[in-house]
Amino acid sequence: MSNKKFGRRKKNQRFRPSGGMKNQMKRDEPVEKGRADIEDGRVLDEPVYEKQHEAEILAAENKAAGIKPESETIKEKSTEAKSKKPVEKKGVVASMKRAAREIIRKLLPKKNSDKEIIISAESLETRVALMEKGVLEDFTIERNKDERIVASIYKGKVRNLEDRLEAAFVDIGIEKNAFLHYWDITPTNLDNRYEMVERKGKRRNTPRLTRKDIPKKYPVGSDITIQVTKGPIGTKGPRVTTHLAIPGRFIVLLPASDQLGISKKVQDPKERKRLKEILRSLDIPDNMGAIIRTAGEGQKKRYFVRDLAMLKETWENVKRRIDNNSSPICAFRDPDLIERTVRDFLTEDVHRILIDNKSEYERMQKLIERISPRSKNKLEYYGEPQPIFDKLNISRQLGQAFSRKVTLKGGGAIVIDETEALVAIDVNTGSHKGGKDQSSTILKVNLESAEEICRQLRLRNMGGLVVIDFIDMKQHRDREKVMQRMKEGLRRDKAKTHVLPISQLGLLEMTRQRHSESVLSTFYDECDYCKGRGHIKTPVTMSVEIQRKLDELLRKRQSEDSDDHQLRIVVNPNVLDRLRREDEDILINLEKKHLVKLAFRGDTSFHAEQFKIFDGLKNKELVSVGETTS
């Protein structure tokens, strides 16, 4: 934290973290599970199946990719608190209160939503921006030539079985074989974010598959149907599972499971009861399962019937491709960004969808007509000459999203640095004018920073470990307010996040699910000139290095017999300018000292950190330092 006003201590004052050394804050959140979450891919906004073996699977995946485990493993502090089922209060008074709240909710006029979706569909890429009150809250980009692999279903061929990793490697027709852990083959329950719903009648009796049975059931060379949960990142190949899930607008179809469930985000007990009855009444095949998504809250039964019919038809097409084609083959590919936007983002609180491509506009009309006919009037076509992202001030906000320093409205600033190991975020007061009450000023800056950090994480799609250095707060209640503001902001994030309390050093540590590369890596390549450092050596530094190398060469020459000696040095023009002006006298003294003639020449093709030394008489290269920019 770089802050001149609020970070000073007296010379004789020892460092003492906020809250003292004894009262250490308890970390009730599981750290190891958080590390597993950041590497986990997703098919939906939330995982469908439970992830109790995620840490074990991730360790095996890293080992298969040749990634060394960390020297000091962070042990899990406690098990994750399971999501509690909403408790329905009983009694006459409780019933009257629920009835009164329902009447008030219906009588109150609905607020006009300021949420809108802006789509720019071009020949090479499609961009989708989610705006609220003119502020960019979410951003997604998809290159049209890039292959969409996550959530796709493949008929693959088992190429190798690694018993020590308890994993299979499956050929799905791409460069790297997919990683399939045995835990992703054995049957599993729904994630605890969903409430299980009992089916009518008896459940099917399926033979229990254990990990020991897998090598016999799926030997090398056998075919297997799998779904990609995470695309290839770095040295890792894609990760796959046999626990299939095909998402619709209101329902997720589970072709390989007979379990039924409802999202626990649906809080109203009466609505949950209604959805359970609808789910039981749907014509779901005995060998399949389904869960109702949060978007299904308040929807009529006919919408679920229509959604299920489309999902069943999709699965029949997938099954037909699997049966009629040899492996490896892609049997189902997740829809493109525009179709996913209609499926996942077109909710009641969105009042407008604006798109600038006429053909895609017509395609969206057909999609909305099929998925949500009453939302058809929300779709609008933008045909003005000015680019849609420029017109609505999205381009400027995106530009800020790629800047290292983000200035806040109150005058503070946050500095974001992405590294291979983690994302470091530093909070500064910047130009914020501190009043007499410094603690309230610090709290105000930290609260505003917390909101902006949550927004930046979404916009930049940054994943992995994130460490935030807030301005130090003395009061425990202030730290709790900042912590609460972070959690509120992260609730809007579709990627899974895991936040730990502010540490004794004033740092907030968190993880964010890594399911794809960051937006920064999509837009930018590493700089070939500085090799990603962001800095190059100064002309002064290069002058010192050249003089040092010349002195070394000339000292070695003293033992050799040579009457005349000349050296030619080729450098970058900026370095040459330094040598000719500020360092001219030093080089003249070097010539006199060693009885040598030095000739310097500039070459624009040379890197700023590159130079070569030649024997002037024999034209022989003696030294070559640095690389060319080409």
Q: Could you tell me the pLDDT band of residue 627, with boundaries at 50, 70 and 90?
A: low
The DSSP code for 120 is E
Residue corresponding to tokens 């009466």: 270
Q: Could you tell me the pLDDT band of residue 2, with boundaries at 50, 70 and 90?
A: very low
Per-residue pLDDT at 547: 92
Are 224 and 161 in contact by the 8 Å Cβ rule? The answer is no
Report the side by side order of strands in the sheet with 135-143: 135-143, 125-132, 115-121, 350-355, 379-381
Question: Picking from 68-72, 224-228, 364-368, 500-504, which range would have the lowest pLDDT averaged per residue?
Answer: 68-72
Domains parsed from the chain with CATH numbers: 539-625 (3.40.1260.20)
- Smallest Cα–Cα separation from 354: which of 374, 334, 384? 384
Q: How far is CA 151 from CA 42, 141, 190, 335, 395, in A?
A: 8, 17, 17, 9, 30
Query: Which distant-in-sequence residues (6+ apart) come within 8 Å of 92 by Cβ?
Result: none
Q: Alpha-carbon dihedral of residues 199, 203, 206, 210, nearest 10 degrees?
A: 60
Q: Could you tell me the pLDDT band of residue 358, with boundaries at 50, 70 and 90?
A: very high
First to last CA, the chain: 38
Report the side by side order of strands in the sheet with 566-571: 597-602, 566-571, 611-615, 620-625
Are 423 and 465 in contact by the 8 Å Cβ rule? The answer is yes
The amino acid at 32: E
Query: What's the pTM?
Result: 0.67
Query: Which distant-in-sequence residues (6+ apart) come within 8 Å of 74 by Cβ?
Result: 31, 32, 35
**CA distance linking residue 194 with residue 282, whole number of Å:** 18
Strand partners, 194: 263
Enter the tokens of residue 605: 């093709």
Query: Which distant-in-sequence residues (6+ apart) come within 8 Å of 433 by Cβ?
Result: 411
Per-residue pLDDT at 43: 40
Q: Could you tell me the pLDDT band of residue 205, with boundaries at 50, 70 and 90?
A: low
Label each residue of 523-534 as H, E or C: HCCCCCCCCCCC
Count of H-run helices and E-run strands, the chain = 16, 26
Is the pLDDT assigned to residue 40 strictly greater than 80?
no
Tell me the pLDDT tens digit for each residue of 440-485.
888 999 999 999 999 999 888 888 899 999 998 888 889 899 999 9
Is the pLDDT assigned to residue 36 strictly greater than 60?
no
The secondary element (H helix, E strand) that includes residue 106 is: helix 92-107
Strand partners, 138: 130
Scanning 259-379, the segments in alpha helix (DSSP H) are: 269-281, 301-324, 337-345, 358-371
Is the pLDDT assigned to residue 630 strictly greater than 60?
no
Q: Quick count: other Cβ atoms within 10 Å of Cβ 376?
A: 14
Enter the tokens of residue 48: 């469908």
Tell me the pLDDT tens digit for each residue of 148-196.
788 899 999 999 999 888 899 999 998 889 999 998 888 888 877 788 8
Strand partners, 226: 154
Is the pLDDT assigned to residue 524 strictly greater than 70?
yes
Per-residue pLDDT at 114: 79
Question: Picking from 205-214, 235-244, 455-464, which range would have the lowest pLDDT averaged per residue?
Answer: 205-214
Question: Picking from 346-355, 483-492, 508-517, which range would have the lowest pLDDT averaged per residue?
Answer: 508-517
**CA distance linking residue 503 with residue 77, whole number of Å:** 14
Q: What DSSP letter does each residue of 365-423 carry, written as one string?
A: HHHHHHH-GGGGGGEEE---SS-HHHHTTHHHHHHHHTSSEEE-TTS-EEEEEE-SSEE
**For 520-539, what is the mean pLDDT?**
80
Query: Which distant-in-sequence residues (6+ apart) come within 8 Å of 554 by Cβ?
Result: 590, 594, 596
Are 600 and 593 in contact by the 8 Å Cβ rule? The answer is no
**For 260-281, what is the mean pLDDT?**
90
Q: Could you tell me the pLDDT band of residue 279, with boundaries at 50, 70 and 90?
A: very high
Enter the tokens of residue 567: 């050296």
Per-residue pLDDT at 88: 45
Tell me the pLDDT tens digit for each residue of 300-350.
898 899 889 989 999 999 999 999 999 899 999 888 888 888 887 777 778
The percentage of residues in the chain with a pLDDT greater than 70, rounded to a whole number, is 80
The CA-based angle 520-525-531, given to 5 degrees, is 115
- Smallest Cα–Cα separation from 271: which of 49, 101, 44, 83? 101
Q: Is the peptide bond before 30 cis (omega within 30 degrees of 0)?
A: no
Tell me the pLDDT tens digit for each residue of 396-416.
888 877 788 888 888 889 999
Enter the tokens of residue 205: 């009796």
Enter the tokens of residue 577: 């300018």
Reduce the DSSP state of residue 450 to 3 states and report it.
helix
Q: 385 or 7: whose pLDDT is higher?
A: 385
What is the number of residues in the chain? 630
Q: Could you tell me the pLDDT band of residue 112, with boundaries at 50, 70 and 90?
A: low
The beta-strand segments (E) located in 470-578 are: 497-499, 507-512, 566-571
**For 539-565, what is the mean pLDDT?**
81
Reduce the DSSP state of residue 611 to 3 states and report it.
strand
**For 223-238, what is the mean pLDDT?**
86
Tell me the pLDDT tens digit for each residue of 570-619.
999 999 999 999 999 999 999 888 889 999 999 999 999 999 999 888 88
- Smallest Cα–Cα separation from 256: which of 201, 185, 195? 185
Q: Could you tell me the pLDDT band of residue 528, with boundaries at 50, 70 and 90?
A: confident
- Smallest Cα–Cα separation from 493: which of 36, 17, 95, 37? 37
Average confidence score pLDDT of the chain: 80
Are 228 and 238 in contact by the 8 Å Cβ rule? The answer is yes
The beta-strand segments (E) located in 446-506 are: 464-469, 497-499
Query: Which distant-in-sequence residues (6+ apart) come within 8 Å of 572 by Cβ?
Result: 542, 602, 603, 604, 606, 607, 608, 609, 610, 611
